[in-house]
Chains A and B, each alone.
Chain A
Amino acid sequence: MIALLLRDLNLAVRAGGGFGLGLAFFLIVTVLVPFGVGPEGAILSTIAPGILWVGALLACLLSLDRIFALDFEDGSLDLLATAPIPLEGVVAMKAAAHWFTTGLPLTLAAPVLGLLLNLDGAGYGWLVASLALGTPALSMIGTFGAALTVGLKRGGLLLSLLVLPLYVPTLIFGAETVKRGADGMATGTALMMLGAITLAASALLPFAAAAAIRINLR
């Protein structure tokens, strides 16, 4: 299974755009917001937690349809389904690869973008913590959505429609953590819920996603 993870990371590096695209998109969204709402620091620092989380979420969404689509087209998915490793493991590794190529870079880049949006000093730690805890859930939920739409010719838009409502709790707890952290309030509950969502999603969704892939392959 580690071989699969390494291959996917290798492919992402070689194809280019694997790491860069989501990150660039995150940057552009964050840079565009001040043009839309105006340059006042007070307003920006109020909306910074929300913008950063929504931006990270959209950047995650961007690369979801490629998780299984390429493997489906070139027949790898058929072969993986007949391989000795369980399809649930394949799904989990795919989600992990997606997180390494999008969630992790986003988490690391977020503080810089927080600076652009005038985020309160107390918020930076919570921003990184909440993204580090929350983005794995985004990858896992997105992988489930990608598994549902893998056989479809034009699955991209449908994928967004399916996945975005599922992202609501993660977004709420993530942005709330940063907001409360920046205001100097207690963040325990929100951060714990975020961790709970990530753990539960990684434990349960691989089974649902693998079931969806089996249905799509037949």
Chain B
Amino acid sequence: MRYPMEMIVSDLACARGGVPVLEGVSFTLAAGQALLLRGPNGIGKTTLLRTLAGLQPALAGQVSVPPETMAYAAHADGLKATLTVTENLQFWARIFGQRGIDRALEDFNLTDLAGRAAQNLSAGQKRRLGLARLLVTGRPIWVLDEPTVSLDVASVALFGAAVRRHLDGGGAALIATHIDLGFPAGQLDVTPFRAQPRGLDHFDEAFA
């Protein structure tokens, strides 16, 4: 990748709906590394990822990361039903100031579907298109929330290969997932970081 990058998260606390869910989260993600977030449903993985992506403010702690290096992908793919696969990808490429979507189409085996409207894709195909979007952002740090939902075994392998190529190219990936993606990656179980209710003495200014 073009510039050296590293994501350093220190003592991060985040809240969902005004209630703290995780606190004291610290880790470092360097170029070429992948980190899988583990933990039971509802523990706050999505909240953590949204906080890291800058969509919501952190309660405490710091996220140190070079500006405009993160590409975020969540449960919703951000696809427009009436646009074709090519048009959807081209739109996001232009928004991120990139050109060339052919590699993304090839990597996720979408070339044959390129002219089809997104509303005529299956759930798994839509998901692949949503993930192909990551490649056209040109950003080195991928922040992914359950990327393999509704993917079949072959597509998971495609995704795994794409992530591995991304890592080899100097990128990094932070992925919340429950399954094995078939490439070497660090694991971070967020269960120990579950926020403890504070004593009632502090229960004033923030009402939490």
A and B touch in the complex (CB under 8 A): yes
Residues of chain A having any CB pair with chain B under 8 Å:
3-4, 7, 10-11, 14-15, 71, 73-76, 78-85, 217-218
CB <8 Å contact, A14 and B77? no
- List the count of A-B residue pairs having beta carbons below 8 Å apart: 63
Chain A residues touching B, majority SS = helix
Q: Are A74 and B50 in contact (CB under 8 A)?
A: no
For this complex, 9 residue pairs linking A to B, each with C-beta atoms less than 8 Å apart, are A10-B83, A73-B76, A74-B76, A76-B76, A78-B55, A82-B54, A82-B70, A217-B55, A218-B50
One of B23-31, B90-98, B168-176 contacting the partner: B90-98
Q: Are the CB atoms of A7 and B76 closer together than 8 Å? A: no
Given A11-B83, A82-B72, the answer on whether A218 and B55 have CB atoms closer than 8 Å is yes
- Whether the Cβ atoms of A3 and B77 lie closer than 8 Å is no
Give CA–CA (A84, B54) in the complex, Å.
12
Nearest to B117 among chain A residues (CB) is A14
Given known contacts A82-B70, A84-B68, A84-B96, A11 and B78 CB-to-CB distance under 8 angstroms: no
Q: Could you tell me the distance between the alpha carbons of A3 and B87 in the complex, rounded to whole angstroms?
A: 11
Cα A85 to Cα B93 in complex, Å, equals 12
> A84 vs B76: C-alpha distance in the bound complex, in angstroms?
19
Q: A78 near B72 (CB under 8 angstroms)?
A: yes
Q: Which of A75, A78, A82, A217 has the most CB of B within 10 A?
A: A82
A75's partner among B57, B77, B83 (CB-CB below 8 A) is: B77
B50 adjacent to A85 (CB under 8 Å):
no
Instruction: Give the chain A neighbours of B80 by CB distance below 8 A.
Output: 7, 11, 74, 76
Q: Which of B73, B78, B82, B95 has the most CB of A within 10 A?
A: B95
Cβ contact of A3, chosen from B50, B56, B70, B94, cutoff 8 A: B94
Kindly list chain A residues whose C-beta atoms are within 8 Å of the C-beta of B55: 78, 81-82, 217-218
Question: Are A11 and B82 closer than 8 Å at their CB atoms?
Answer: yes
Q: Is the CB of A218 within 8 A of B94?
A: no
A70 vs B179: C-alpha distance in the bound complex, in angstroms?
A: 31
Number of interface residues of B (CB under 8 A): 28
Tell me how far the C-beta of A90 lies from the nearest C-beta in chain B, rounded to whole angstroms.
Answer: 9
Name the distance in Å between B5's Cβ and chain A's nearest Cβ: 15
Not counting A78-B55, A80-B95, A81-B55, a sample of 9 additional A-B residue pairs whose C-beta atoms are within 8 angstroms of each other reads: A3-B91, A14-B82, A14-B83, A75-B75, A78-B78, A79-B78, A79-B92, A82-B70, A217-B55
Q: Which residues of A contact B57 (CB under 8 A)?
A: 218
Q: Are A4 and B95 in contact (CB under 8 A)?
A: yes
Task: Please tell me if the beta carbons of B83 and A79 are within 8 angstroms of each other in the complex.
Answer: no
Residues of A within 8 A of B56 (CB): 217-218
Interfacial chain B residues near A3, Cβ < 8 Å = 91, 94-95
Quick check: is B53 within 8 A (CB to CB) of the other chain? Answer: yes
Interchain CB contact under 8 A, B76 and A78? yes
In the complex, what distance in Å separates the CA atom of A78 from the CA atom of B57?
14
What's the Cα separation between A75 and B74 when bound, in Å?
8
- Residue numbers in A under 8 Å from B75 (CB-CB): 75
Name the residue of chain A whose CB is nearest to the CB of B15: A218
Interchain nearest-CB distance for A85 vs B (Å): 6
Chain B residue with the shortest CB-CB distance to A80: B95
Q: Which residues of B have CB within 8 Å of A85?
A: 95
Residues of A with C-beta under 8 A to B73:
79
- Is residue B22 contacting chain A, with contact meaning CB distance below 8 A? no
Chain B residues in 8 Å Cβ range of A7: 80, 83, 91
Q: Is B78 touching A75 in the complex (CB atoms < 8 A)? A: yes
The reply to whether the CB of B21 lies closer than 8 angstroms to some CB of chain A is no
Question: Which residue of chain B has its CB nearest to the CB of A81?
Answer: B55
